């Protein structure tokens, strides 16, 4: 108990490594395996052919049976390691198989045929990355449409979110108009009203506005984020009022002040909100499930959900689609990890 | 900015100037009409209109739906039925036995959600605390490991569900490991208890990093000299943990617990893709009940779905009040939603 406690209460800054350090590293390595392992497995599996995916137990890497071109045959023939009756083993290409008897030839000397029992031959395998999974999801399904819908919603909603939230944050941080504090409270209080509790009435509003089955029916309800107003307002409070007064002396209009002074100076906070907004909109699911029903309006998330119900036998496509969907988020994370984690730690939102 | 501008920046810069000039003229008129402080209303207007249409109006309309019946969406075509929807949901011989209720799926969903929320949040906060304590030590590659635990937080729930569905399926890698150890394969998602377990597990996997980050920030805010002083006084490691770390981390722990509960009772996306609520109703939670009743089934029972939403809203209200009471940080904390 005491030694566990040592591990729990230890702080940075001690010199020598003791066994609690090893326990810590063990825990972290286990975490690494558990957190990244399934994702790595998904990515590796997405490069396997349909045949390789059906193997049980599965191989870690995408192995496939090697095949060779043999003179006199149009298609490449599968290669086997054969144990001949005299005990020698050779790599031979299979020409045909009848019952339990297989006929094979030497790829370099295809004239002589060997007939062996199928138990005496084992497939020769090598690494084969089935990149076709990726090209075929664009050719066989409207994957490009889903990708476009996701990108459209994410980009447009994020731009509108940045504009509307920045405008509200500007008003709430730089003007003293009657009712300002009430407006701020009203906006922030919507943090406590998650969309899950107003699904039915929101469906009515969106259909009355004629936005059902339209990407705008996803975009408009999402753009007035209280989180964004909050982050931006806190940041704009730190911008000195003297800058605004100086601009007013030069007869700049209020809109020009907002556009030319406030927006550029709020760039760091806008960047944080932009990252959040991209994540939120890219990953949205339940509301889209309700609003977008025709398949040509599907986003990547909706398409994945629909395919995993239908294509249970076509995992090679589903896996490739999943990898394409997680790729943008992974890239954003790889490059902006520091900003995301510090942004979350300070704002307490995700 | 430098005078030599990259040509790629010319287009957005021109678009920005155009937007400024197009909006500037009407805004000048508004400015003349309203005066300077009151032009603030003009700036908050877009946000308020959106919130009014898609948040405040729906709150009111939700009550209307909950107290009217029929299958029509348009309010004027819905007959007033009073408490009938709520009575339908709450008609039970015994509230402890969901199968004795008229809407047994609703009660199963409520019990499932309660069990899920307590298990998931309890375990998740425990693991997040241990992870934060480990990450707070002087270790090599701290930033890297912090990223490792945080990465799944950013993945979409659908992707999270598919990653694990691929691992857990009957011919998946987990059963292959079992087979390698000589055990027979298990239907991880077709057995009711295992499916529930994996919903809890996958949800912890996907969200733990976020809570770890908040707890880690709390740990790093504890002054190091407290520990040095305690060490000089000969306090045991366990005592230092229970008398310094835990009490000083308590505000963060409470935030994390309540926030976790608020999220957990709204669980839907991952589970819907992973198990579809099954097998049977073993992993059907309250939001899925609302979705099915109102939208997915052939007959759209909007009234019943809205009434169930009221029950969910009430539980969220209790949790939010609890959070405000416990943290006393009023609204400024800005925590509670994960979608905006």
What number is the average pLDDT over the span B102-128?
A: 93
Helices (H) and strands (E) in chain B, counts: 15, 0
A94, pLDDT greater than 70: yes
B183, pLDDT greater than 90: no
| pTM exceeding the 0.80 threshold for the entire prediction | yes
CB contact under 8 Å between A28 and B39, yes or no, is no
What number is the average pLDDT over the span A33-49?
A: 90
What number is the average pLDDT over the span B46-73?
A: 92
Contacts A21 to B, Cβ<8 Å: 137, 139
Contacts B255 to A, Cβ<8 Å: 348
Over the stretch B236-255, which tens digit does the pLDDT of each residue have? 888 888 888 999 998 889 88
What number is the average pLDDT over the span B34-39?
A: 83
Is B153 in the A-facing interface, judged by CB distances under 8 Å? yes
CB contact under 8 Å between B148 and A283, yes or no, is no
User: How many whole angstroms separate alpha carbon A268 and alpha carbon B265?
Assistant: 34
Structure tokens at B42: 């003009």
Within the 202-221 window of chain B, which residues sit less than 8 Å (CB to CB) from chain A? 205, 210, 213-214, 216-217
If pLDDT is split at 50, 70 and 90, which confidence band does B1 have? very low
Q: Among A3, A7, A9, A20, which would you mutate to test the B interface (most chain B Cβ atoms within 10 Å of its Cβ)?
A: A9
If pLDDT is split at 50, 70 and 90, which confidence band does A91 have? confident
Kindly report the nearest CA distance between residue A86 and chain B, in angstroms: 34
Nearest CB neighbour to B156, from listed A57, A223, A325: A325
Contacts A192 to B, Cβ<8 Å: 316-317, 320, 336
Q: In order of start, what are the domains of chain A with their CATH numbers?
A: 65-127 (2.30.30), 141-310 (1.10.3720.10)
In the Cβ-directed half-sphere of A279, how many Cα atoms lie within 13 Å? 26
User: pLDDT at position B110, please?
Assistant: 92
User: pLDDT at position B78, please?
Assistant: 85
What number is the average pLDDT over the span B43-65?
A: 94
CB contact under 8 Å between A175 and B40, yes or no, is yes
User: pLDDT at position B103, please?
Assistant: 80
Contacts B339 to A, Cβ<8 Å: 194-195, 222, 280, 284
B330, pLDDT greater than 50: no
Asked if A284 contacts A218 with a C-beta cutoff of 8 angstroms, the reply is yes
- What dihedral angle (degrees, nearest 10) is formed by the CA atoms of A333, A335, A337, A342? -130
Nearest CB neighbour to A308, from listed B36, B53, B165: B165
What number is the average pLDDT over the span B209-220?
A: 91
A205, pLDDT greater than 90: yes
Angle between helices B142-154 and B104-135 (to 10 degrees): 160
B140-145, long-range: CB within 8 Å, 24+ apart, which pairs? B143/A337, B143/A338, B145/A28, B145/A31, B145/A32
Over the stretch B68-113, which tens digit does the pLDDT of each residue have? 988 888 888 888 888 888 888 888 877 777 777 788 889 899 999 9
CB contact under 8 Å between B16 and A259, yes or no, is yes
If pLDDT is split at 50, 70 and 90, which confidence band does A90 have? confident
In eight-state DSSP terms, residue A241 is H
Q: In order of start, what are the domains of chain B with their CATH numbers?
A: 7-60 (no CATH), 104-333 (1.10.3720.10)
What number is the average pLDDT over the span A295-307?
A: 90
């Amino acid at each position: 108990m005491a030694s566990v406690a040592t591990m729990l209460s230890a702080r940075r800054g001690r010199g020598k490594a003791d066994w609690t350090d090893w326990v810590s590293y063990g825990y972290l390595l286990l975490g690494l395996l558990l957190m990244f392992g399934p994702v790595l497995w998904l990515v590796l599996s997405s490069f396997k052919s349909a045949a390789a995916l059906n193997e049980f137990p599965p191989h870690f890497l995408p192995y496939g049976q090697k095949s060779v071109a043999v003179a006199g045959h149009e298609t490449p023939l599968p290669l086997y390691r054969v144990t001949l009756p005299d005990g020698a083993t050779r790599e031979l290409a299979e020409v045909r198989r009848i019952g339990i008897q297989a006929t094979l030839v030497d790829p370099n000397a295809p004239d002589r045929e060997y007939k062996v029992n199928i138990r005496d031959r084992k497939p020769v395998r090598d690494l084969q990355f089935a990149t076709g999974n990726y090209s075929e999801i664009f050719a066989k399904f409207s994957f490009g449409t889903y990708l476009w819908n996701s990108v459209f919603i994410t980009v447009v909603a994020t731009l509108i979110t940045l504009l509307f939230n920045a405008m509200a944050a500007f008003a709430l941080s730089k003007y003293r108009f009657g009712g300002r504090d009430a407006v701020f409270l009203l906006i922030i209080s919507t943090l406590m009203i998650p969309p899950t509790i107003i699904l039915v009435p929101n469906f009515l509003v969106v259909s009355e506005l004629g936005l059902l089955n339209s990407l705008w029916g996803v975009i408009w309800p999402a753009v007035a984020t209280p989180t964004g107003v909050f982050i931006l307002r806190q940041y704009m409070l730190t911008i000195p009022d003297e800058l605004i007064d100086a601009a007013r002396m030069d007869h700049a209009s209020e809109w020009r002040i907002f556009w030319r002074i406030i927006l550029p100076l709020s760039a760091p906070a806008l960047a944080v909100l932009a990252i959040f907004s991209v994540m939120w909109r890219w990953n949205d699911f339940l509301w889209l499930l309700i609003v977008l029903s025709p398949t040509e309006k599907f986003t990547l998330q909706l398409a994945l959900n629909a395919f995993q119900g239908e294509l249970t036998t076509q995992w090679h496509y589903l896996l490739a689609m999943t990898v394409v969907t997680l790729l943008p988020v992974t890239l954003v994370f790889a490059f902006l990890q520091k900003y995301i984690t510090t942004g979350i730690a300070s704002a307490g939102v995700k | 900015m430098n005078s030599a501008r990259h040509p790629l920046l010319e287009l957005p810069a021109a678009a920005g100037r155009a937007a400024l000039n197009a909006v500037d003229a009407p805004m000048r008129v508004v400015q003349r009409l309203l005066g300077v402080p009151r032009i603030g209303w003009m700036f908050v207007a877009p946000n308020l209109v959106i919130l009014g249409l898609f948040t405040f109006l729906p709150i009111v309309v939700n009550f209307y739906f909950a107290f009217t019946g029929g299958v029509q969406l348009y309010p004027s075509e819905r007959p007033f039925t009073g408490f009938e929807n709520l009575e339908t949901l709450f008609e039970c011989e015994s509230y402890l036995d969901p199968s004795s209720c008229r809407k047994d799926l609703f009660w199963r969903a409520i019990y499932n959600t309660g069990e899920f929320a307590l298990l998931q949040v309890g375990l998740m906060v425990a693991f997040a605390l241990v992870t934060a304590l480990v990450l707070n030590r002087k270790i090599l590659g701290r930033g890297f490991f912090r990223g490792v635990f945080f990465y799944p937080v950013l993945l979409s729930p659908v992707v999270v569900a598919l990653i694990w569905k691929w691992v857990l399926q009957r011919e998946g890698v987990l059963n292959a490991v079992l087979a390698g150890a000589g055990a027979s394969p298990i239907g991880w998602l077709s057995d009711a208890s295992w499916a529930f377990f994996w919903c809890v597990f996958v949800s912890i996997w996907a969200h733990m990093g976020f809570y770890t980050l908040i707890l880690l920030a709390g740990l790093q805010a504890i002054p190091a000299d407290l520990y040095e002083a305690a060490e000089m006084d000969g306090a045991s490691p366990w005592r230092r943990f229970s008398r310094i770390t835990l009490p000083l981390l308590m505000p963060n722990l409470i935030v994390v617990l309540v926030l976790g509960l608020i999220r957990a009772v709204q669980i839907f996306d991952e589970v819907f893709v992973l198990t579809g609520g099954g097998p049977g109703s073993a992993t059907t939670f309250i939001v899925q009940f609302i979705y099915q009743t109102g939208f997915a089934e052939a007959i759209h029972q909007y009234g019943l779905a809205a009434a169930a939403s009221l029950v969910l809203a009430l539980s969220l209200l209790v949790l939010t009040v609890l959070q405000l009471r416990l943290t006393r940080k009023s609204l400024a904390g800005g925590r509670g939603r994960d979608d905006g």
